[in-house]
Amino acid sequence: MAGGVRARRKAERPGEILEAAFEEFVQNGYAATRLEDVAARVGVTKGTIYFYFENKEQLFVAMVRELSRPVHLQAEEFAASNSSTAPEFLRSYLCFLYRIIATDPRGREILRLLIAEASRFPALIDEHHQNFMGPVVRRLRQVLDDGNAKGEIRQSSVLEFPELLLAPALSLNIWMLLFSDRRPIDMERHFEIAVDLLLNGLLPRTTSESNKP
């Protein structure tokens, strides 16, 4: 039993601090967050933070990395999975991305921090692109290509900008970041409609000739 409480505490400290840091940084932004408040949230004193992290900047970076990692892992895992048809996979993939980009408060707020502090922490942006956005876009392009080859996806220049498929999730993200307090959104419904829009577009399906000659 020796070393129980102490040791357990120690092992958990960094995580606790990162968690608290996340909340404070999200609430106030990087510059306006006081390490003292982060410490207080954990129930320790300022000094303790410096025992685990070099300085405020490093704490921020570590926090973003820590909270991003599980998401990146999940995304990797999901991308590796497969489904029968392209539209089917697309639907489940987009659902997954919706969840981690727009629905999950964590992912949402991390994105806020990245947008806000992009110029101060370019390395984080790079990592985010390398570990998440890049692979996601590549996977989307692949699905579109394959689906197109199989005739499941129409011939379209969307293949040039597969990230357009993320647009509904990203715009919902912004909407939530800006207006969530004001007017609640039915995110499930938003997703359903977005998928419908992406798959079928706005123009009536009945006409045999397209309207853009």
Partner DNA sequence: GATGAATGAGATTTCATTCAT
Partner DNA sequence: AATGAATGAAATCTCATTCAT
Beta carbon of residue 177, minimum distance to DNA (angstroms, whole number): 23
Query: Which among DNA, a second copy, none contacts residue 175 (Cβ within 5 to 8 A by kind)?
Result: a second copy
Binding flag, residue 138, DNA (CB under 7 A): no
For the chain, how big is the Rg over CA atoms in Å?
Answer: 21
The alpha carbon of 5 is separated from its chain's Cα centroid by a whole number of angstroms, namely 35
Question: Of 45 and 92, which CB lies nearer to DNA in the complex structure?
Answer: 45
Query: Which among DNA, a second copy, none contacts residue 47 (Cβ within 5 to 8 A by kind)?
Result: DNA
Tokens read off for 74: 């999940």
What sign results for the dihedral spanned by CA atoms 205, 206, 211, 212?
A: positive
Question: Of 40 and 170, which CB lies nearer to DNA in the complex structure?
Answer: 40
- Per-residue b/e over 143-181, b at no fewer than 16 CB within 10 Å? bbeebbeeebbeeeebeeebeebbebbeebbeebeeeee
Binding flag, residue 6, DNA (CB under 7 A): yes
Taking a C-beta distance cutoff of 8 angstroms, is the pair 66, 132 a contact?
A: no
* Whole-number Å distance between alpha carbons of 64 and 85: 35
Of the residues 5, 157, 209, 213, which one makes contact with DNA according to CB under 7 A: 5
Beta carbon of residue 210, minimum distance to a second copy (angstroms, whole number): 6
Beta carbon of residue 166, minimum distance to a second copy (angstroms, whole number): 6
Beta carbon of residue 8, minimum distance to DNA (angstroms, whole number): 10
Counting Cβ atoms within 10 Å, is residue 91 exposed (0-12), middle (13-18) or buried (19+)?
middle
Point out which span in 6-14, 75-83, 148-156, 180-188 binds DNA (CB under 7 A): 6-14
Binding flag, residue 27, DNA (CB under 7 A): no
Binding flag, residue 57, DNA (CB under 7 A): yes
Binding flag, residue 119, DNA (CB under 7 A): no
Q: How far is CA 45 from CA 22, 37, 38, 50, in A?
A: 17, 9, 9, 10
Binding flag, residue 44, DNA (CB under 7 A): yes
Beta carbon of residue 198, minimum distance to a second copy (angstroms, whole number): 6
Query: Which among a second copy, DNA, none contacts residue 2 (Cβ within 5 to 8 A by kind)?
Result: DNA
* Whole-number Å distance between alpha carbons of 2 and 149: 64
Contact residues for DNA (CB under 7 A)?
A: 2-3, 5-7, 9-10, 13, 32-36, 39, 43-48, 50-52, 55-57
